[in-house]
Amino acid sequence: MNRQVPPGEAPLLHAQELRKQYGATTALDGAEFSIRPGEVVAVMGPSGSGKSTLLHCLAGIVTPDSGSLTYDGRQMAAMSDRERSALRRTEFGFVFQFGQLVPELSCVENVALPLRLAGTGRRAAEREANGWLERLEVAELAGKRPGEISGGQGQRVAVARSLVTRPRVLFADEPTGALDSLNGERVMELLTEAARSARAAVVLVTHEARVAAYSDREIVVRDGRSRDMAHAA
């Protein structure tokens, strides 16, 4: 299942000594992180240890107080807000635990939305979207609205939407957290298969070992510090 990443390949995202303080709370206390193109890395650790803060820093959503963070060799801190948001739109994809689909739009319109926002015409965007729904094995839901489908189906549609722009990094924060174990495993299988076929790296935040088992490598965060478990594929 795991695909080998050439050992010498430069990291796509690389974080060193990240620190982030929220008032008196230290969310990150010198966290390190590195991911290579196409690699799937699970970020594990107890509740409140700093996993989501790390993911938000890596994705350029939260600015760390200090530390170094590079994407494709470029310092994120040196980018303007505009450059960082362009990066999020064009190079990054996101899947969260809940509530990501627009309820008024059909599933195919939801998946096509990021392409439509980037200026792709409706027909081409929906053709691409239907291809992703097929890959996630939910093609038959194209015309349905999110309120008419199950939680597991909704997550598959959300994964399709996150990959439709062909991001280089997919950030997934507890993507199966709201699903039962059978549905969760199927979503993880499809998510990792689809990301691998698109050659997207995946930063997967989870507290479940069963979910982390789909990764190439695990990082454990404790008290804002990270440790590479190097469970080599």
Ligand X SMILES: Nc1ncnc2c1ncn2[C@@H]1O[C@H](COP(=O)(O)OP(=O)(O)OP(=O)(O)O)[C@@H](O)[C@H]1O
**Residue 41 near residue 203 (C-beta atoms within 8 A):** yes
Cβ closest to ligand X, residue 49 vs residue 110? 49
Q: Which residues of 46-78 are buried (b: 16+ CB within 10 A; e: fewer)?
A: eeebbbbbbbbbbbbbbebeebebbbeeeebee
Cβ closest to ligand X, residue 49 vs residue 106? 49
Q: Which stretch binds ligand X (CB under 6 A): 6-14, 19-27, 104-112, 156-164?
A: 19-27
Shortest Cβ 18–ligand X spacing (Å): 12
Cβ closest to ligand X, residue 26 vs residue 68? 26
Rule CB under 6 A: which of 196-225 touch ligand X?
207
Shortest Cβ 213–ligand X spacing (Å): 18
Q: Does 64 bind ligand X (CB under 6 A)?
A: no
Cβ closest to ligand X, residue 133 vs residue 219? 219
Chosen residue from 22, 85, 180, 209 binding ligand X by CB under 6 A: 22
Shortest Cβ 55–ligand X spacing (Å): 8
Instruction: Say which residues have a Cβ less than 8 Å from residue 16's Cβ, sequence separation at least 6.
Output: 32, 67, 68, 69
- Provide the mask over 40-59, with x wherever binding to ligand X is found by CB under 6 A and - wherever it is not: -----x-xxxxxxx------
What distance in Å separates the CA atoms of residue 89 and residue 83, rounded to the nearest whole number? 10
What distance in Å separates the CA atoms of residue 29 and residue 223, rounded to the nearest whole number? 7
Here the tokens at position 169 are: 């990094």
Q: Does 114 bind ligand X (CB under 6 A)?
A: no
Collapsing DSSP states into helix, strand and coil, what is residue 35?
Answer: strand
Instruction: Say which residues have a Cβ less than 8 Å from residue 46's Cβ, sequence separation at least 6.
Output: 207, 222
Shortest Cβ 51–ligand X spacing (Å): 4
Q: How many residues bind ligand X (CB under 6 A)?
A: 12
Q: Does 80 bind ligand X (CB under 6 A)?
A: no
Q: Does 190 bind ligand X (CB under 6 A)?
A: no
- Cα distances (Å, whole numbers) of residue 151 to 34, 36, 99: 31, 31, 10
Cβ closest to ligand X, residue 51 vs residue 84? 51
Give the chain's length: 233
Q: Is beta strand 25-35 parallel, antiparallel or unpaired with respect to 225-228?
A: unpaired
Contacts with ligand X, residue ranges (CB under 6 A) = 22, 25, 27, 45, 47-53, 207
